[in-house]
Amino acid sequence: MSHMSKNFLTRGHSRALTRHHKLAAAGVAALGAAAIGLSAVPSDASTTTTTEPAAAPTAKVAYSTEQIEGVKADVTDQLAGASLKAEQIAARKQAAAEAAAEKRAAAAAAKAEAEARAEKARQAEEAASRAAERDEVKKAAPKSAPRSYGNNLDGWIRESLAILKKHGIPGSYEGIHRNIMRESSGNPKAINLWDINAQNGIPSKGLLQVIPPTFEAYHVPGTPKNIWDPVANITAACNYAADKYGTMDNVDSAY
C-alpha cells in the first residue's frame, strides 16, 4: 500500500496515468455512441455489426418568426411612410401648380382690365381731341352769315330794314328807296367830290351819301364797319336820320 502511494506521488507516473484515463474516456464515449446507434434500429431489422461509430442524430433547429415579422412590419411601415410622403409632395406640387396658375390667370385678367381701361381712356382722349379740333375749326371759320337777301338794291334795303327793326330804329322801304335814288341813283360806290364836305376833305360816300364821321358815330352793330358796304351804309344813315329827323321817311333833301 505504501508502494502505490509512492507511485502516485511520482510526477512521471502521474502523466502516464493521465493519458491512460483519456483513452479510457474516449472508449467509453465510443461505446455509448454505438449503443445509441443500435437502439435506433427497428426491432424487426437484422442486426449488423459494424466497427464504424454511429452518426450523431441531427438535432432539429427551431426558428423564431417574431424577429422576421418585426422586420417585415418595419419594412411595411417604411414603405407606407415613403408612399405617404410621396403623396404629400405630389399634393404640395399640385397645390403650388394650381396656385401659380391662378396667379397667372389673375395677372392676365388684371392686365386685360388695365389694357381695356387704357384703351377706353385713349378713345375718350381721342374723342375729346377731335371735339377740340372741331371747336377750333368753328372758331377759325368766318362768322359772316350768308345773306338771306338778294345782292342788289332791293335785297340791301330789306336786310337793312330787318336790322333797323331789331334795334328799334324807324324807317320804311319807300322812304329809304326814295332817298337812295336821290342821293346815289342806287350806286353803292357813289362819292361826292364837289360839295362842302368834299372841300373839307370828308366827301360823302355810298348809297345814302354818308360822310365818314357820321358813319362812325351812327354805325349799327351787326353790320360791317365799312362805309362802302351797302347794308352798313343804309343802316347808319337811317340811324342818323332817326336821331335828327325822327325817321328817314321825313327826309326829302340833303340832310
Residue 120 confidence (pLDDT): 86
Cα–Cα dist 98/121, whole Å: 34
pLDDT per residue over 81-115, tens digit each?
A: 777 788 889 888 898 899 889 889 989 988 988 88
User: pLDDT class for 40, splitting at 50, 70, 90?
Assistant: very low
Grid cell at residue 225: 364797319
Give the pLDDT mean for 194-211: 95
Lowest model confidence (mean pLDDT) among 63-72, 121-130, 210-219: 63-72
Cα–Cα dist 127/120, whole Å: 10
Give the pLDDT mean for 28-53: 42
Where exactly are the structural domains of the chain?
1-57, 66-142, 153-250
Residue 37 confidence (pLDDT): 41
Cα–Cα dist 189/203, whole Å: 12
Q: Is the pLDDT of residue 28 over 90?
A: no
Lowest model confidence (mean pLDDT) among 50-64, 161-175, 198-212: 50-64
SS3 state at 200? coil
% of the chain residues with pLDDT over 90: 42
Look-up: residue for cell 360822310?
211
SS3 state at 254? coil
Backbone phi and psi for residue 205, each to the nearest 5 degrees, phi listed first: -140, 155
Better-scored residue on pLDDT, 254 or 47: 254
Cα–Cα dist 210/188, whole Å: 11
Residue 117 confidence (pLDDT): 87
Give me the DSSP letters along 48-92: ---SSPPPPPPPPPPPPSHHHHHHHHHHHHHHHHHHHHHHHHHHH
- 222 Rama sector, left if φ>0, alpha if ψ -120 to 50, beta otherwise: left
Cα–Cα dist 34/128, whole Å: 128
Grid cell at residue 56: 450523431
pLDDT per residue over 137-155, tens digit each?
A: 566 545 544 558 999 999 9
Q: Is the pLDDT of residue 11 over 50?
A: no
- The answer to whether residues 207 and 188 touch, using CB atoms and an 8 Å cutoff, is yes
For the four alpha carbons of 115, 116, 117 and 120, in that order, the dihedral sign comes to positive
Question: For all residues of the chain together, what is the average pLDDT?
Answer: 76
User: pLDDT class for 18, splitting at 50, 70, 90?
Assistant: very low
